[in-house]
């Protein structure tokens, strides 16, 4: 069967403030690349359209998408769309049905998993998929080819008498059973990380695990599955070696929520990189309470140059409110531990939570400066449907009805406002956070001292343009 997997065209300046566009990453869509690999395993012909990347780098739009749909003429199309892309998903579905009425259309993404009734609002979507769809797509396609009824399939969302029904998918417990992402179906040359997230080019991304056992109220993981599962250390190192040999990759961003959750696996990955003498630099995200001296020093030896920590707030009250599960002192200790091992620290901070005051946002900004992280990424609290934060936000303020504002990065609008913080308050604090952190003489001097190559100069220049343009 001919299958087209689409992420709708969506230029990055619709996600980031225009001045921050140069800081925005353009990354491979690993989710649909995994699905594509599973479909190829069963001999299906697959084409991927990575709309956001192609729109940003190649000025690809809906006219080009329509042309590709006509030329490929898929039997089934899967559309993956985040909450902020729902308008683009509707337009994509309409184009498919206008040009190929018999094509089966399947909508996936966080919103439809969080609210399956959303399928009723997408007239041109025949079905939806719930959560991870690696197993769902091959199963429903097999049934279609056998002329069997697909309603009732695990992982499928369907309509019946204008009522939405669904079954959750099977949980993939052994991730090593899934082929490596079908990167050969992507134009790997168009991707770029943000300036702070690489040291050498070409760079790319990997996911070595799925799921997260923690309970942060803002996280959308509960809508798509929280069970933590991980690739074996050998499989991870095999994929790194594949990226080095096949694509000449020099730098990898590990996209796991908590890369070091399993300490022994982390050590085995690092030892594998060292033993195979892979020339690779990499960064990852984890928690301040999931590292120790032995692990950080081994990670550094294996090429890890940066760790990202979800710090979120400088207010003890807000850390408890969002169920982060750590204290400010634990955060201080974790940041210090990473830095003492020679690993840079990227801190993620959020502002605009329900019940949060301006004073508490200012505490967060000051905490970022106290920690003196190497990179601070400030984001706007975004109450995605299906999260605990969504339920709290509905009772605590006003949720923006424009889904395109649900991006974290405060382009022009904000997704949520409360009686304590207005839209203008949040946007002003967002600008203040970036400028007060990055325009410190101490920080600027340190960036000059970090320069080791022309690539470093280029990275720093792109970052500076974004900050100064706020």
Dihedrals phi, psi of 150, to nearest 5 degrees = -95, -20
Q: Is the pLDDT of residue 128 over 90?
A: yes
Spell 327-341 as b/e; 16+ CB within 10 A means b: ebeebeebbebbbeb
Residue 358: the pLDDT is 97
| Domain shared by 98 and 243, yes or no | no
| Domain shared by 144 and 209, yes or no | no
CA 233 to mean position of chain CA atoms: 22
Mean per-residue pLDDT for 152-157? Answer: 96
CB 128 within 8 A of CB 116: yes
The per-residue pLDDT for range 294-324, each reduced to its tens digit, is 999 999 999 999 999 999 999 999 999 999 9
Q: Is the pLDDT of residue 14 over 90?
A: no
Residue 33, domain extent: 2-166
Dihedrals phi, psi of 284, to nearest 5 degrees = -150, 170
Q: Measure the CA–CA gap between 33 and 24, rounded to whole angstroms.
A: 21
Q: Give CA angle at 217 (215, 221), nearest 5°.
A: 65
Q: Is residue 172 part of a domain?
A: no
What does the DSSP 8-state code read for residue 227? -
Both tokens of 299, joined, read: 């990670």
As a whole-number percent, the residues of the chain with pLDDT over 90 amount to 74
Mean per-residue pLDDT for 30-35? Answer: 96
| Domain shared by 203 and 70, yes or no | no
| Domain shared by 197 and 154, yes or no | no
| Domain shared by 331 and 458, yes or no | yes
Confidence of residue 399 (pLDDT cuts 50, 70, 90): confident
- In terms of pLDDT, which residue wins out, 17 or 413? 413
Q: Measure the CA–CA gap between 191 and 154, rounded to whole angstroms.
A: 34
47 membership: H or E segment, kind and range? strand 45-50
| Domain shared by 96 and 244, yes or no | no
Q: Is the pLDDT of residue 85 over 70?
A: yes
* H helical segments located in 276-422: 293-301, 316-321, 328-340, 358-371, 388-396
Residue 467: the pLDDT is 57
Q: Measure the CA–CA gap between 103 and 122, rounded to whole angstroms.
A: 15
Q: Pick from 166, 181, 213: which residue ends a domain?
A: 166
User: To the nearest whole number, what is the mean pLDDT of the chain?
Assistant: 90
Residue 404: the pLDDT is 67
Query: Picking from 38-52, 76-90, 148-162, 396-410, which range would have the lowest pLDDT averaged per residue?
Result: 396-410
Confidence of residue 21 (pLDDT cuts 50, 70, 90): low
Q: Is residue 173 part of a domain?
A: no
Q: Is residue 184 part of a domain?
A: no
Confidence of residue 460 (pLDDT cuts 50, 70, 90): low
Mean per-residue pLDDT for 223-234? Answer: 82
Q: Measure the CA–CA gap between 261 and 242, rounded to whole angstroms.
A: 24
Residue 368: the pLDDT is 98
| Domain shared by 233 and 161, yes or no | no
Q: Is the pLDDT of residue 114 over 90?
A: no
| Domain shared by 146 and 198, yes or no | no
| Domain shared by 271 and 140, yes or no | no
Both tokens of 221, joined, read: 């993981």
CB 263 within 8 A of CB 287: no
Number of domains in the chain: 2
Q: Is the pLDDT of residue 292 over 70?
A: yes
Q: Is the pLDDT of residue 19 over 50?
A: no
Q: Pick from 124, 148, 166: which residue ends a domain?
A: 166
Query: Picking from 166-170, 262-266, 324-328, which range would have the lowest pLDDT averaged per residue?
Result: 166-170
| Domain shared by 339 and 435, yes or no | yes
Q: Is the pLDDT of residue 223 over 60?
A: no
Confidence of residue 68 (pLDDT cuts 50, 70, 90): very high
Mean per-residue pLDDT for 227-244? Answer: 97
Q: Is the pLDDT of residue 147 over 80?
A: yes
Q: Measure the CA–CA gap between 355 and 345, rounded to whole angstroms.
A: 29
Q: Is the pLDDT of residue 245 over 90?
A: yes
Residue 367: the pLDDT is 98
| Domain shared by 94 and 45, yes or no | yes
CB 377 within 8 A of CB 348: yes
Spell 3-33 as b/e; 16+ CB within 10 A means b: bbbbbbbbbbebbbbebbbbbbbbbbbbbbb
CATH number at residue 100: 3.40.50.280
Q: Is residue 179 part of a domain?
A: no
Q: Is the pLDDT of residue 416 over 60?
A: yes
Q: Is residue 34 part of a domain?
A: yes
Q: Is residue 392 part of a domain?
A: yes
CATH number at residue 403: 3.20.20.70
Q: Which residue has the tokens 């630099």?
A: 281
Mean per-residue pLDDT for 277-286? Answer: 98
| Domain shared by 66 and 211, yes or no | no
Mean per-residue pLDDT for 129-135? Answer: 94
Q: Is the pLDDT of residue 332 over 80?
A: yes
């Amino acid at each position: 069967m001919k299958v087209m997997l689409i992420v709708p065209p969506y230029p990055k300046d619709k996600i980031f403030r225009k001045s921050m566009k140069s800081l925005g990453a353009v990354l491979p869509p690993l989710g649909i690349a995994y699905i594509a690999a599973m479909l190829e395993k069963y001999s299906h012909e697959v084409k991927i359209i990575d709309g956001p990347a192609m729109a940003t780098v190649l000025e690809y739009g809906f006219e080009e998408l329509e042309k590709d749909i006509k030329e490929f003429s898929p039997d089934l199309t899967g559309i993956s769309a985040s909450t902020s892309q729902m308008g683009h998903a509707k337009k994509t579905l309409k184009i498919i049905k206008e040009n190929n009425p018999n094509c089966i259309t399947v909508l996936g993404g966080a919103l439809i998993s969080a609210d399956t009734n959303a399928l009723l609002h997408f007239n041109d979507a025949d079905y939806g998929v719930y959560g991870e769809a690696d197993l769902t797509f091959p199963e429903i396609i097999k049934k279609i080819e056998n002329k069997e009824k697909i309603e009732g399939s695990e992982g499928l969302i369907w309509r019946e008498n204008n009522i939405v029904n669904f079954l959750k998918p099977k949980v993939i417990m052994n991730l090593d059973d899934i082929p490596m992402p079908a990167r050969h179906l992507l134009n790997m040359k168009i991707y770029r990380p943000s300036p702070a997230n690489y040291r050498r080019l070409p760079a790319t991304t990997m996911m070595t695990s799925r799921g997260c056992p923690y309970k942060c109220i803002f996280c959308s993981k509960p809508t798509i599955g929280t069970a933590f599962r991980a690739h074996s250390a050998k499989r991870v190192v095999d994929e790194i070696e594949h990226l080095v040999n096949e694509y000449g990759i020099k730098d990898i961003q590990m996209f796991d929520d908590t890369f070091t959750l399993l300490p022994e696996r982390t050590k085995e990955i690092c030892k594998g990189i060292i033993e195979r003498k892979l020339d690779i630099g990499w960064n990852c995200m984890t928690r301040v309470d999931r590292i120790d001296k032995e692990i950080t020093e081994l990670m550094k030896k294996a090429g890890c140059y940066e760790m990202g920590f979800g710090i979120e707030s400088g207010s003890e009250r807000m850390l408890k409110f969002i169920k982060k599960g750590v204290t400010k002192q634990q955060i201080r200790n974790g940041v210090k531990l990473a830095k003492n091992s020679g690993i840079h620290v990227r801190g993620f901070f959020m502002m605009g939570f329900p019940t949060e005051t301006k004073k508490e946002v200012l505490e967060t900004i000051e905490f970022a400066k106290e920690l003196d992280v190497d990179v601070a990424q400030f984001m706007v609290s975004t109450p995605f449907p299906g999260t605990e934060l969504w339920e709290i936000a509905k009772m605590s303020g006003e949720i923006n009805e424009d889904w395109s504002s649900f991006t974290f990065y405060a382009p022009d609008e904000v997704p949520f406002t409360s009686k304590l913080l207005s839209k203008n308050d949040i946007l002003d604090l967002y600008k203040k956070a970036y400028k007060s952190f990055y325009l410190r003489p101490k920080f600027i001097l340190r960036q000059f001292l970090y320069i080791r190559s022309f690539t470093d100069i280029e990275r720093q220049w792109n970052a500076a343009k974004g900050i100064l343009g706020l």
